[in-house]
Structure 1
Amino acid sequence: MRISVWHVGVVTLAGIAMIPLVNQGLSGDGRLQGTGPSIADDCDIPIALHLGAVDDRFDLDRSTVSRALRDAIAMWQGASDHTLFRETEDLGMAVTLEFDERQESAQARGRDRDELARMEETLQTRQTRLRRERDHLSDDLAAFDDRQNAYNTRGRQHEEAVADWNAGRVEQTAARRAELEREREELQQARQQLPEARRQLQERQETLHARQQQLEEDARQFNERVAAYNRAAADSVGFQMARYQRHGDDRAIRVFRAMGDNELRVVLAHELGHALGIGHVNDQRAVMHADLSSANRERTALTAADRAALADACNIGVEDSQR
């Protein structure tokens, strides 16, 4: 009784490199006007003001704009005991939100940004899932390798036992023959099962590889869109977001771009500073810095540079603050 032992070929998993998802900052800031006629000649306080027309295409209701204006006033008022501004129903400096291509472009970029954020989240979820499935496959490959090695070891042992039987080196009893027959049947069963297990592993490997390639392509397209977004956003940097202006006794603050109430609050606070006769300061975190950026976009209080500029422009004492 002889059997030949079948050695199953080793199944290997090609390395699946996880790609980095590029996020280049999704930028796009604006410039806050503040030179020449856009700054008041002197600090003529208190300044009477009122909320004028609000174009509803800003997606900011009037109550939200009114609250942002009050908060902007409070940022300055909190720095001094002097009354700097006086809100009225319809007298004094008008504060308006005027919709044009600046806000329209910003809203379009905002929609693009939201879509890119969703795309990135989806890609990261897919990447995490792929990594998890890759790890599971690696574990299953290791288990298959152990199973294959155990089969080969058992097969060699069985061949040696059969050779001893055939050479008469062992006692040829019915029980021993039955044991060898049982081992042969078990090995044959394992021999039949191993190819199917290997096929399933190879199929999973091919599927993962295809999904990895698709993920890499989708990530490449995503990164191209991010780069295009940032190029377009960079082209928009430096446009005028708002303007304080004065003609004789008529004053106005005209807002041309505000993406949300936080940004609007800082833009209004900046232009209120110009109405007080304050120019730009060098601190990027300051309300009165020339540019709106991540450093100052969500400020709720003045910086030391802002307060110093207020004291200098209005010749008044200001409250000390650590913020």
Structure 2
Amino acid sequence: MNAKLYSTLLLVILIGGWVVLDEGFTFTNTENSKSVPCQQPLTYQLGDIDSRFDISEHELIEVLEEVEALWSSALGRDVVDFSESGTVLVHLIYSEEQQRTDAERQFSNRIKAKEQEEEVARREFDRLSKRYEQKKQDVQQTLETYNETASTYNELAQKWKGKEATSEIIAKFKKLEQQIKNLEADLKHKKKNLQQLHQQANNKTEQLNRLVNEYNQLIDEYNERYSEPRRFDQGRFVKQGTQEEINIYQFRNRAQLKTVLAHEVGHALGLKHVSNPKSIMHKMMAEQNMGNLQLTDEDITALQQQCN
């Protein structure tokens, strides 16, 4: 069984996988808003939500409520609030970059599906390998029993060679002959099963190597298409006269959407970018803890200064 190729290629996967993970995105810088969050909450309402985004209106409202709580916690009172007649319209605008993100997500799903297919095949290979080793030991034990029985028969035959055997010895000969015959049939059957398992394991090895090659090809294609860093605007706060809008153009998942919204709401509150790369109001989205998004001291200070 050619397991060496499988092991070698699997190592390539583990090494190659690191290439896919490092990404960063740019937030848009904007001029300060004239909102005064210290005197009254900044109100917003939902605007146009492109149906091509994989998010419902209810889910979007939930994310916005989380953003509300995030900024309100800095002052201990409401600074952002939903209103049917809110002053800031929140739009989800399906952009070219979102199309690219969706295509990348679909490609990533293909890679995950291929990885899962490989994992299923690997478990089946391990199961077959374990069964093969067990059956191989069983054949070896049966062969040893056969050899011992044949040796006993030969020793007895040599001892009684040229002599008239008693009925007891004749019965013993017949019993040994039957045992040898049964063992031969058993051994033949077990060897046949062992050969079948050997072939199945070889076939599974070939399948594994094919799947690993296909997986590596997908990784290479993914890296060629998507690994090159690209800078683009995921969101923008826009103020034209009395019209205020938060336009969201692209997000990968709920956590990323929340981060972009929190950043643009910060601009709507009148905040500028801060220097801490872990801050929500940093110009780049890269080092924020999107899994547990929190305001940094710089974010809180910026809001408090805006209120003075």
Counterparts of residues 163-312 of structure 1 (less than 5 Å): 163-166=158-161, 168=163, 172-235=165-228, 237-275=230-268, 276-284=270-278, 286-293=279-286, 296-311=289-304
- Partner-residue secondary structure (3-state), 1:178: helix
Q: Distance in 2 between matches of 1:198 and 1:243?
A: 71
Q: Distance in 2 between matches of 1:265 and 1:65?
A: 9
Query: What is the letter of the counterpart of residue 218 of structure 1?
Result: L
Per the alignment, residue 140 of structure 1 pairs with 135
- Partner-residue secondary structure (3-state), 2:290: coil
- For the aligned residue pairs, the C-alpha RMSD in angstroms reads 2.9
Per the alignment, residue 119 of structure 1 pairs with 114
Gaps of 5+ in 1: 1-13, 317-323
Query: What is the letter of the counterpart of residue 94 of structure 2?
Result: F
Q: Distance in 1 between matches of 2:275 and 2:97?
A: 24
Q: Are the aligned partners of 1:47 and 1:86 in contact in 2 as well (CA < 8 Å)?
A: yes
Q: 1:150 aligns with which of 130, 133, 145?
A: 145
1:90 to 1:232, Cα distance in 2 relative to 1, 3 A: farther
Q: Distance in 2 between matches of 1:160 and 1:140?
A: 30
Which one is further off, 246-255 or 21-30?
21-30
TM-score of the aligned structures, taking structure 1 as reference length: 0.79
Per the alignment, residue 6 of structure 1 pairs with none
Q: How far does residue 309 in structure 1 lie from its aligned partner after superposition? A: 3.8
1:154 to 1:102, Cα distance in 2 relative to 1, 3 A: same
Q: Are the aligned partners of 1:266 and 1:298 in contact in 2 as well (CA < 8 Å)?
A: no
Q: Distance in 1 between matches of 2:73 and 2:282?
A: 19
Q: Distance in 1 between matches of 2:303 and 2:192?
A: 76
| Per-residue deviation, residues 97-127 of structure 1 (Å, max 9, x unmatched) | 1112111221222222233323322321221
Per the alignment, residue 26 of structure 2 pairs with 32
Which one is further off, 87-96 or 292-301?
292-301
Query: What is the letter of the counterpart of residue 119 of structure 2?
Result: Q
Q: Distance in 2 between matches of 1:209 and 1:288?
A: 57
- Does 1:69 pair with 2:61? no
- Partner-residue secondary structure (3-state), 1:235: coil
Q: Are the aligned partners of 1:42 and 1:277 in contact in 2 as well (CA < 8 Å)?
A: no
Which one is further off, 25-34 or 44-53?
25-34
Counterparts of residues 82-93 of structure 1 (less than 5 Å): 83-93=78-88
1:39 to 1:201, Cα distance in 2 relative to 1, 3 A: farther
1:173 to 1:139, Cα distance in 2 relative to 1, 3 A: same
Structure with the higher helix share, 1 or 2: 2
Which one is further off, 76-85 or 41-50?
41-50
Q: Distance in 1 between matches of 2:196 and 2:183?
A: 20
Q: Are the aligned partners of 1:241 and 1:258 in contact in 2 as well (CA < 8 Å)?
A: yes
Q: 1:110 aligns with which of 105, 110, 129?
A: 105
| Per-residue deviation, residues 265-319 of structure 1 (Å, max 9, x unmatched) | 22100111223323144344x43344445853333432344324433x4256xxx
Q: Are the aligned partners of 1:29 and 1:291 in contact in 2 as well (CA < 8 Å)?
A: no
Q: Are the aligned partners of 1:28 and 1:233 in contact in 2 as well (CA < 8 Å)?
A: no
Q: Distance in 2 between matches of 1:186 and 1:150?
A: 10
Q: Distance in 2 between matches of 1:232 and 1:181?
A: 76
Which one is further off, 132-141 or 255-264?
255-264
Q: Distance in 2 between matches of 1:262 and 1:229?
A: 23
Q: How far does residue 236 in structure 1 lie from its aligned partner after superposition? A: 5.8
1:110 to 1:211, Cα distance in 2 relative to 1, 3 A: same
Identity %: 20
Q: Distance in 2 between matches of 1:173 and 1:293?
A: 94
Q: 1:55 aligns with which of 50, 57, 73?
A: 50
1:271 to 1:84, Cα distance in 2 relative to 1, 3 A: same
1:289 to 1:141, Cα distance in 2 relative to 1, 3 A: farther
- Partner-residue secondary structure (3-state), 2:90: strand
1:58 to 1:113, Cα distance in 2 relative to 1, 3 A: same
Q: Are the aligned partners of 2:149 and 2:179 in contact in 1 as well (CA < 8 Å)?
A: no
